[in-house]
Structure 1
Amino acid sequence: MKTPAALLLATPLLWAAAPAPVITPAELSATVKVIASDAYQGRAPGTAGETKTIDYLVGRFRALGLQPGGPGGQWTQVVPMIHNIAGTPATLKVEVGSASLPIATGSDIAPATTRATDRVTIQNAPMVFVGYGVSAPERGWDDFKGVDLHGKIAVFLVNDPDYEAQPGEPVAGKFGGQAMTYYGRWTYKYEEAARQGAIGALIVHEDGPAGYGWNVAGNTVGGTYALPPAAGAPAPVALQAWISHDFATRLFAKAGLDLAQLKVKARSADFRPVPLDGAHFSIDMPVQSTRIESHNVLAKIPGKTHPGETVLYGAHWDAYGVGAPDAQGRTIRPGANDDGLGVAGVLALAKAFKAGPQPDRSIVFGLWTAEERGLLGSEYYAQNPVYPIARTVGALTIDILQTAGPARDVVLIGAGQDSLEKDLAEAAAKQGRTVTPDAKPERGLFYRADHFSLAKRGVPTLLLMGAGGGADLVTGGREAGDKWVSDYTAHCYHQTCDTWSADWDLRGAAQDVGLFYTIGRRLADSREWPVWNKGSEFAATREKTASERQ
């Protein structure tokens, strides 16, 4: 008699006593030392640095004895992209009535476009404040109220309508409280502006709601990358940009509005778009636009009994390439931790699985391109999956690992989403560790890594992200873990100083990679199908394909 599918979905994993292979700090460090070296030029998509990176990664997988995992038996999946580099605007002005408001690129605005065009020209476009710019009928929320935005510039707040809600406000908790939803992400806001017909979208930057400083939001190193619009999708806005909070405050004041007061009003479901009376935006900006082909790298270990079911490991190979020199004259942003360490972790996992018994299910290792440009490589894979989404058991992603030594816990990003977090807790317990939820879910880290491209198609996910919250370090405790996170994000995240160091203590990183081996091995050798928790926004999507997993 066959076990009912419902029981297979609900049964917890049975953890065998066999120990996981040892993942060593030395092997992680050795990989990063190579791919974060100057020879790789910051691993930007579509550059000579990409060519060198892809050759290295394919060579590593081949040497480990894995099989090509891409379409047609290839090692790579071609990812077509639009690559735009914005030039210095010939015109950039904001006029309010008869007065011109000074605005400077770099300090006030970071203008960009993802359209395939050689020029962005907008003349005297009216400006409209759309609050948080959320259209969420399932939550009874619509910030647009049918207002026509065609030919207009939409001005958004970052994060969700309940980010700053006070206890007792009707909106409190409607969008996850301090835990950001996808509606809070900049990617969603630009997409929604296009759906609403706006010609441009400006997002008001604030460190807390964004989860990072202006040094990140205003960073235009290497330009913008985008996937070509899918058939039937609206064209992207002609202009997308962050604007500084200081500039936004001055702009609203010039228009006779108080930004702080409007932020409060935007927390109400009754909010309606507010025209910035007399305010018009103009820009004439040259764009160097090219079509490029980048690549995802895919390798696999076929399953011996259920090869059509897949456990997917992932990390992104790209970083920020070459840009303006820093104070020390360095121009390469090498992405040693973000995400060189993730790549090292995936390669270590491939080595460990290849050295062990053949798994019952297939294991696929995906190294994605253009994560830093909007999760583009993993999104392209999710749109064009090599392995059926419905029969992808889970997606386990590594994006940044802490380099400050062993920890008593592992930080969980996206707590409360799916059953894999219970598996994480069991695997951590085998190491004598605990699981701590991300202390700052308002940063929306769950929506900012490659696993999200699979999650929104219904695949249960786990994310290891060392910068997600300070770990409880064996030496120094939580205080030391928090200091590591704050120092890294404030100074080296996406910057030239994200370099390999012989002084890294990767014992904690190796512990975390070992957790992913234990979880993946159990998934690969079981008949279990992880499930989304009740109330997750991804549960309904997964349920639609339930029959394909029976």
Structure 2
Amino acid sequence: MQLRLAAVILLLASPAAAQAPTVSSTEIDAHKLEQTVRTLASDQFEGRAPGTVGEERTIGYLIGRLQALGLEPGGENGTWTQRVPLLHTQLGEAATLAFEHDRKTRALSFPRDIYVSTLQPNDVARIDGAPLVFVGYGVSAPERGWDDFKDADLAGKVAVFLVNDPDFHAAEGEPVAGTFGGRTMTYYGRWTYKFEEAARRGAVGALIVHETAGAGYGWNVVESPGGENYDVVREPEDVTSLALQGWISGDTARLLFAEAGFDLAELSTAARRKDFEPVDLATTFTAAFPVEHEVVQSQNVLARITGTKRPDETVIYGAHWDAYGKGEPDAEGRIYRAGANDDALGVAALFEIARAFEVAPPPERSVVFAFWTAEERGLLGSEYYAANPVYPIETTVANLGVDILQTAGRAKDVILVGKGQGTLEDDLARFANQQGRTVSEESLPERGLFYRADHFSFAKRGVPVLLMMGIAGASDLVDGGKAAGQAWVDDYTGRCYHAACDAWSEDWNLTGAVQDIALFRDIGAELANSESWPGWKDGSEFKATRQASEAARN
């Protein structure tokens, strides 16, 4: 192992500070990061899938490490954990799957033509001849003066959506251009929002027309779960109305619209106008899939340092402990998709930040270190916590999330995910400047990475957030610049992301990760010893939600 992996960010401290170190004077130790990643990504933990022996071993390991660091239990009823019951569903072979128009039936192939799954705990996922209604981008955004639904009745119907935002494909000069951030995806562009909106309106199904540019990934990614899905266990009245939700391939969608007498391209253009109205496709959808379903008991792990002056105000650091478990052997015979970077390295980062806080004088606000389950199944551990918080959401100061760090060495910059959302991005720039670094924006904002990590469960409830994610853009590396940074991103995302080769490698250079972890350590330390509250910027879709709870902070 080269000495570069032992490099640290070291701030000079006075003799007094050496006796009582501040948070920022504590080194981030690359060797400790390596040890944690090597352990969690080892075969002993079997890929850390929720509800498995791998989870049991992971939870025990996390608790043991947190106890050794001297932290307090931060979970339910004085324990280290929060129980997270998960619904796991798996579709079998379809008994029927077809569109019907003008008494002509078109059989569909799963998953070639259409990909669906279910979040209902039923033995059969069934839709019987439900009318298809095209709702454009399916956006209801009163703060932007936009409503694609125009009071259309979707009860008992299947909503058909376009992916991404109404301005994603807008040409310069179109009235819609810039209304939803242009190429930068808003939450309205996410598939999760579209499914949620369809359910709010009583639809029995929701289908999104796939296109690679708007989705940010190809059809191979859409179909890869193979009919499997997860959700948190919900009360009967809160279970989605959608019997099936998923995607239609672009070719299948164009054929569907043509047989109904419409041109998909023309309707897609029409959907970029405020006066767009839903279109009845005069076509019905019928499907029946057998469903295997079970409840999987999983856990978040929570540790705490209680604040000395304002203990009810909480700064939360978060990373997810889960990965993908066991899969088919890869070319090197590896069967566990153990997520060494995604997100064992994030877990290691939290341990190092916690170590820094623990040896420093106690913070004025409480600091919580949260290790989420089921991120890879749809941000479910953090979602469950945010819906059932151990510490009040209204007085949660911020959530700082770590999910994938670059392992290619020191960088001249740090990547910002979600530009223009919150004031924490200004803090990121300020602390990066103190490190002699700049801030670079994520390179593909249309992929909506801001909405695809655990911090988002807090954001949509109004909590200010900041995400450290190394694959959001090409870092300007000290050795090799942006070209070397892009080469690392391309290699990781193209070869190892969610694959068995996301494993510890002797080629890792953690000096850049150390920079980023130290940066997050310092941002959180300032928040934990401050009376100020970060917020959302004008234009953010989360600002109004936070403002609604302002009285609790006053």
Q: Does 2:513 correspond to 1:473?
A: no
Matches of 1:248 and 1:413, distance apart in 2: 32
1:453 counterpart residue number:
457
Provide the C-alpha distance between the structure 1 equivalents of 2:334 and 2:280, rounded to a whole number of angstroms: 44
1:13 is aligned to: none
User: Which residues in structure 2 correspond to 1:308-457 (within 5 Å)?
Assistant: 308-326=312-330, 330-457=334-461
SS of aligned partner of 1:292: strand
Match 1:516 to one of 514, 520, 529: 520
| Per-residue deviation, residues 293-325 of structure 1 (Å, max 9, x unmatched) | 211100011122222221110011112223455
The alpha carbon displacement at 1:541 in A equals: 2.3
Paired AA for residue 178 in structure 2: G
Q: Deviations over 1:47-101 (max 9, x none)?
A: 2221111111111111111110012111000112211112222322334445554
SS at match of 1:501: coil
- Alignment partners' CA distance in 2, 1:330 and 1:150: 47
Which deviates the most, 361-370 or 234-243? 234-243
Q: Hey, what's the Cα distance between the residues in 1 that align with 2:395 and 2:259? A: 55
Work out the CA distance in 2 between the residues paired with 1:28 and 1:215: 33
Aligned to 2:126, the other structure's residue is in SS state strand
3-state SS, counterpart of residue 42 of structure 1: coil
1:49 aligns to what?
A: 54
* Structure 1: 4+ residue segments shifted above 6 A: none
* Structure 2 residues not aligned, in runs of 5+: 1-12, 15-21
* Cα distance, 1:467–1:343 mapped onto 2, change above 3 Å: same
Q: Flag the 1:282–1:516 CA change in 2: closer, same or farther, 3 A.
A: same
Match of 1:8 in 2: none
**TM-score, normalised to structure 1's length?**
0.92
| 1:93–1:240 distance in 2 versus 1, CA, 3 Å | same
The secondary structure found in structure 2 opposite 1:547 is: helix
CA contact (8 A) 2:90 2:229 kept: yes
Q: Does 1:77 align with 2:82?
A: yes
Q: CA deviation at 1:163?
A: 0.9
Amino acid in the other structure paired with 1:473: L
Contact 1:194–1:234, Cα closer than 8 Å, also in 2: no
The corresponding residue for 1:526 is: 530
CA distance in 2, matches of 1:230, 1:339: 30
Bigger mean CA deviation after superposition, 327-336 or 539-548: 327-336
CA shift in 2, pair 1:231/1:529, >3 Å: farther
Indicate conservation of the 8 Å contact 2:119/2:240, yes or no.
no
Counterpart amino acid of residue 346 in structure 2: G
| Residue type of the alignment partner of 2:213 | G
Alignment size in residue pairs: 535
Deviations 1:91-137 (A, max 9, x none): 22334445554533233333210011111122333322221111222
Q: Report the residue type matching 1:507 in the other structure.
A: T
The residue aligned with 1:206 is 211
Indicate the larger mover: 73-82 or 538-547: 538-547
Give distance in 1, aligned partners of 2:25 and 2:427: 15
Range with greater deviation from structure 2 (364-373 or 498-507): 498-507
Q: Distance in 1 between matches of 2:310 and 2:32?
A: 31
Kindly indicate whether the alpha-carbon contact (under 8 Å) linking 2:125 and 2:290 is maintained by their aligned counterparts in 1: yes
Residue 230 to residue 477, structure 1, CA distance change in 2 (3 Å): farther
- Aligned match of 1:29: 34
SS in 1 for 2:251: helix
| Contact 2:373/2:381, CA 8 A, preserved across alignment | yes
Amino acid at match of 1:368: W
Equivalent residue, structure 2, for 1:286: 290
Match of 1:184 among 181, 189, 201: 189
TM-score by length of 2: 0.91
CA RMSD of aligned residues (A): 2.2
CA contact under 8 A between 1:20 and 1:514: conserved in structure 2? no
Q: Does 1:224 align with 2:229?
A: yes
Q: CA separation in 1, counterparts of 2:244 and 2:407?
A: 38
2:209 and 2:292 mapped to 1: Cα distance?
26
Aligned partners of 1:276, 1:404: CA distance in 2, in Å? Answer: 51
SS in 1 for 2:504: coil
Contact preservation (8 Å) 1:418, 1:460: yes
Corresponding residue for 1:128? Answer: 133
> Deviation per CA, 1:200-231, whole angstroms, max 9, x where unpaired?
11112222211223332222169211123457
Structure 1 residues 391 and 38: alpha-carbon distance in aligned structure 2, compared to 1, 3 A threshold: same
SS in 1 for 2:384: helix
Q: Deviations over 1:228-265 (max 9, x none)?
A: 34575463300011232233233333333322222111
CA drift of 1:459 comes to 1.5
Report sequence identity in percent: 58
Aligned match of 2:489: 485
Q: Is the 8 A contact 1:101 1:251 kept in 2?
A: no
Matched residues in 2 for 1:127 and 1:327: separation?
A: 43
Q: How far apart are the structure 2 equivalents of 1:57 and 1:202?
A: 39
- Once the two structures are superposed, what CA deviation does each residue of 1:126-182 show, in whole Å capped at 9, x if it has no partner? 322221111222322222222222332221111111111112212112212222111
Q: Relative to 1, partners in 2 of residues 1:196 and 1:300: Cα closer, same or farther, differing over 3 Å?
A: same
